[in-house]
Amino acid sequence: VDLSLKIFQSVMSGSITDPLVVIGFIDTGLLLLIIVEVYQTVLAYVEENDTRRIVQLVIYTGVIAMVRKAIIFRTSEYATLEDALFAAGSYAIIIFALVALLFVERSYGSDSPLLSDR
């Protein structure tokens, strides 16, 4: 509700055309998704669900978190260009590793994906 109100206020004030404002909204939306995924992971763990489902939720949370970091990435936040390139490369490696984990889990896991029953 708060995010919707902020978007509405930005539309009314005209600041919605500022890319930094839009990136802020995307950042907030992805942060909300991370919170939901962590909540689902905790529930699955408490309910002692299948380990595979918990692993899927953790991987999804990681992917969302890293995509969020990549979207809000700013080279101006780093002291040197080399530091920024190192951070960007690290983000890329982590994202590719998480996607590879997700692919392996989906390919070599059981035949029916557990998350499709939601």
The C-alpha atoms of residue 46 and residue 2 are separated, in whole angstroms, by: 29
Q: Could you tell me the pTM of the whole model?
A: 0.69
The C-alpha atoms of residue 55 and residue 82 are separated, in whole angstroms, by: 34
The C-alpha atoms of residue 33 and residue 38 are separated, in whole angstroms, by: 9
Contact between 20 and 76 under an 8 Å Cβ cutoff? The reply is no
Structure tokens at 15: 């600041």
pLDDT digits (tens, 9 = 90+) for 54-111: 888 888 889 999 998 998 898 888 999 999 999 999 999 999 999 999 898 888 876 5
